[in-house]
């Protein structure tokens, strides 16, 4: 804390001239940002989501479960049985029933 207070000028500006290793905080347009994307998009600029799912609490988990539930509903309408889907997805029969109920309500 003392080191930080010594570096601040009375006007609120920081004096970093004594530390030549410090890089200035650049504006975004002057900073080279490496956009690596994620498992859903190759680049953040090409992302299909309006807001990053990693910014939402349990965002990825919610998205994956939503896809699973849609697939369960599709398979159910094609005639698959609940037991068969439970084994297929590695979940309980009751979870399949809840997924079907949620999917029908939406």
What is the rounded CA–CA span in Å between residue 13 and residue 19?
15
Distance of alpha carbon 93 from the chain centroid: 29
Band the pLDDT of 19: cuts 50, 70, 90: low
Coil, helix or strand at residue 94: helix
Phi and psi of 93, rounded to 5°?
-65, -35
Task: Count how many domains the chain has.
Answer: 1
pLDDT number for residue 96: 96
**Is 99 contained in some domain?**
yes
Whether the per-residue pLDDT at 91 is higher than 60: the answer is yes
**Is 90 contained in some domain?**
yes
pLDDT number for residue 14: 52
pLDDT digits (tens, 9 = 90+) for 31-87: 777 888 888 888 888 888 888 888 889 999 999 998 999 999 999 999 999 999 999
> Residue 67 is part of which domain span?
2-15+35-105
**Is 25 contained in some domain?**
no
**Is 89 contained in some domain?**
yes
pLDDT number for residue 20: 59
């Amino acid at each position: 804390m003392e080191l930080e207070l010594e570096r601040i000028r009375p006007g609120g500006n920081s004096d970093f001239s004594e530390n030549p290793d410090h890089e200035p905080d650049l504006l975004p347009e002057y900073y080279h940002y490496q956009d690596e994307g994620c498992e859903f998009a190759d680049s953040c600029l090409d992302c299909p989501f309006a807001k990053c799912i990693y910014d939402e609490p349990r965002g990825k988990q919610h998205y994956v479960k939503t896809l699973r539930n849609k697939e369960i509903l599709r398979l159910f309408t094609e005639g698959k049985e609940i037991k068969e889907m439970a084994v297929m997805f590695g979940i309980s029969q009751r979870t399949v029933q809840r997924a079907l109920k949620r999917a029908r309500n939406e």
